[in-house]
Amino acid sequence: MINRYETREIAFQTLFAINANPDVDTQALMESLAATPGEEVALPEYLLSLVAGVREQTTQLDAAISEHLSANWSLTRLAKTDLIILRVAVYEMLEVPEVPAKVAVNEALELAKKYSDERSRKFINGVLSAIVRQHELV
């Protein structure tokens, strides 16, 4: 059974791969990322909805993130890992009512700890904290 953190991590890895290769077979990719040798994997519904939701709402998510970048930064300057971590967290914060904003932020910081560096982690925390304040997500 895949837990929520692992689900977010697989969603992040899937979205990162799609960003690099938009023609990738999303379903097969998620299945290979979630696979445990010797076990048949059932993809969690939350994984499917998270990946689909982020893909469908990328424009809105990027707009929400852009609002909180300093004047000399743009989405194109962000590391792809950081941008995708931000997209997943912002999607959860704004579109998944059962996930508290605090949980979405903490999970994003855990992903940043694993896939990014300390400066990126602080940056991600700053952007997400600003979105939490803006939308009064406490």
pLDDT of 78 over the 70 cut: yes
- For residue 83, give the DSSP letter: H
CA quadruple 15, 109, 83, 68: dihedral sign: positive
Residues 80, 75: Cα–Cα separation, whole Å: 9
Q: Looking at domain 4-135, which CATH architecture does it have?
A: Orthogonal Bundle (1.10)
List the one residue out of 129, 79, 78, 68 whose CA is nearest residue 104.
129
Residues 70, 84: Cα–Cα separation, whole Å: 18
**Which of the residue ranges 9-13, 74-78, 89-93 would you say has the lowest mean pLDDT?**
74-78
How far does CA 109 lie from the centroid of its chain? 10
Higher pLDDT, residue 22 or 39: 22
Domain ranges, ordered by start, for the chain: 4-135
Inter-CA distances, 119 with 31, 62, 89, 115, 135, Å: 32, 20, 18, 12, 25
Q: What confidence score (pLDDT) does residue 74 get?
A: 87
Q: What confidence score (pLDDT) does residue 42 get?
A: 84
Task: Classify each residue of 61-75 as buried b or exposed e, where b means 16 or more C-beta atoms within 10 Å of its C-beta.
Answer: bbebbeebbeeeeee
Q: Assign 138 a pLDDT band (cuts: 50, 70, 90).
A: low
